[in-house]
């Protein structure tokens, strides 16, 4: 192996080409492993076996690195000589001894990348394009569209909205765009939710939920994340939707899990749905969740989910284990100490 590549020598005693009529022997070196555009220098030496050291040398090593290396395009590519030595002369020379030739081959692989000591180190700041767009929104300069949401009006820039959201793009510039693109009324959305939506579009980050809601509670933050997830789905903001889904997965709680589960079903958030189902199905959570107003909403809006929930409850019951010490035996849940099956109750 040289330079990370395998190499092979090919010797043709009757010549490689038919037109030579076996008048010359041919000698080549070939790339024997996978590689593309391998640049290398070669030296082939036919050794004098008489002790006189009159070797026959063909070398590239005296050439410059700019023009000297030969490029082997792919595995099996060769470099060498079709007419390396005239056969009749070779048979009478000191290079042949006991019908054997000795050939020495040197290979030098040229690497195109060279490294030297680093003289300077330039610190490149992280991108602040989100901050710059956010400051543009806060400044209110050059806005060209207004949105009415409940009792509030939000100003924005059409091109920024269109670049970030396919729904806004169609609404503002598409063939079916709104007739009045200067002032658009947004239905079925809370004002703080639309404000958070604009914050993400410009800043590319989630807003501070506590600052946005004015309430320091997980319940309020979860409620905002639920509404923001629905808004993200409505306007085709996939990254925002996933950020909200991840936040809701991390903050599953008794008083909000039912509404979160309904939301996950309606907006096809499969990971969030699985987390909620598993949480509700836990024996210590199920009864408390069923007593919340959110569970009543879940029954009305997504009745099919109750079947899936029952399946999860059944799985949890099958895998729950009550370990009892009775002698040296462990009793599985669902059996009494005598091994008899007993009916389980939720």
pLDDT in tens, 307-320: 888 888 877 766 65
The 10s digit of each residue's pLDDT in 13-70 is 887 777 766 788 888 888 888 877 777 777 778 788 877 877 777 776 766 666 667 6
pLDDT at 333: 39
Do residues 74 and 83 touch, judged by C-beta distance below 8 A? no
Are 236 and 171 contacting, i.e. CB atoms less than 8 angstroms apart? no
Strands 183-186 and 145-149: parallel
Range of the domain at 21: 7-109
pTM score: 0.58
Tell whether the model's pLDDT for residue 104 goes beyond 70.
yes
| pLDDT interval class at 181 (50, 70, 90) | confident
Residues 17 and 101 in one domain: yes
CATH of residue 257's domain is: 1.25.40.420
Nearest partner of 107 among 51, 46, 41, judged by Cα: 41
Residues 193, 232 within the same domain:
yes
Position 1 in a domain: no
Q: What is the pLDDT of residue 39?
A: 78
Task: Give the pair of three-digit tokens for residue 21.
Answer: 């009529």
The answer to whether 12 and 26 are in contact (CB under 8 A) is yes
Alpha helix (H) ranges present in the chain? 87-91, 129-139, 158-164, 166-173, 191-203, 209-213, 218-234, 238-250, 257-266, 270-281, 283-290, 293-301, 304-319
User: What per-residue confidence (pLDDT) applies to 118?
Assistant: 63
Q: Using CA atoms in the order 242, 247, 251, 252, what is the torsion angle rounded to 10 degrees?
A: -10
Q: Specify if 228 maps to a domain.
A: yes
Question: Mean pLDDT, to the nearest integer, of 138-146?
Answer: 93
CA distance 128 to 205: 12
Mean pLDDT calculated for residue range 87-92: 81
């Amino acid at each position: 192996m040289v330079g990370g590549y395998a190499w092979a020598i090919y010797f043709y005693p009757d010549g490689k080409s038919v037109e030579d009529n076996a008048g010359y022997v041919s000698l080549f070196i070939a790339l024997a492993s996978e590689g593309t555009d391998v640049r290398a220098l070669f030296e082939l030496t036919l050794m004098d076996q008489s002790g006189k050291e009159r070797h026959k040398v063909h070398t590239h090593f005296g050439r410059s690195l700019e023009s000297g290396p030969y490029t082997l395009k792919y595995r099996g590519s060769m470099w060498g000589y079709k007419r390396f030595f005239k056969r009749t002369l070779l048979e009478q020379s000191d290079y042949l001894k006991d019908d054997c030739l000795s050939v020495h081959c040197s290979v030098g692989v040229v690497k195109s990348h060279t490294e030297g000591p680093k003289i300077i180190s330039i610190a490149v700041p992280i991108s602040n394009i989100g901050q710059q767009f956010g400051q543009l929104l806060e400044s209110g300069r050059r806005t060209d569209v207004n949105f009415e949401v409940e009792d509030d009006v939000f100003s924005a820039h059409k091109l920024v909205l269109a670049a970030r959201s396919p729904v806004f793009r169609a609404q503002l510039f598409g063939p079916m765009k709104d007739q009045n693109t200067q002032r658009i009324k947004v239905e079925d959305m809370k004002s703080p939710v639309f404000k958070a939506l604009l914050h993400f579009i410009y800043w590319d980050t989630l807003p501070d939920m506590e600052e946005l809601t004015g309430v320091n509670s997980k319940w309020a933050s979860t409620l905002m994340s639920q509404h923001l997830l629905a808004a993200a789905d409505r306007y085709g903001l996939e990254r925002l939707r996933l950020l909200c889904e991840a936040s809701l997965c991390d903050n599953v709680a008794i008083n909000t899990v039912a509404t979160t589960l309904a939301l996950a079903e309606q907006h096809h958030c499969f990971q969030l749905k699985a987390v909620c189902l598993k949480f509700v199905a836990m024996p210590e959570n199920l009864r408390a969740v069923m007593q919340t107003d959110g569970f009543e909403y879940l029954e009305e809006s997504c009745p099919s989910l109750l079947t899936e929930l029952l399946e999860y409850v059944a799985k949890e019951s099958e895998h729950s284990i009550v370990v009892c010490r009775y002698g040296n035996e462990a009793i599985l849940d669902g059996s009494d100490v005598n091994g008899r099956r007993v009916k389980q109750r939720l």
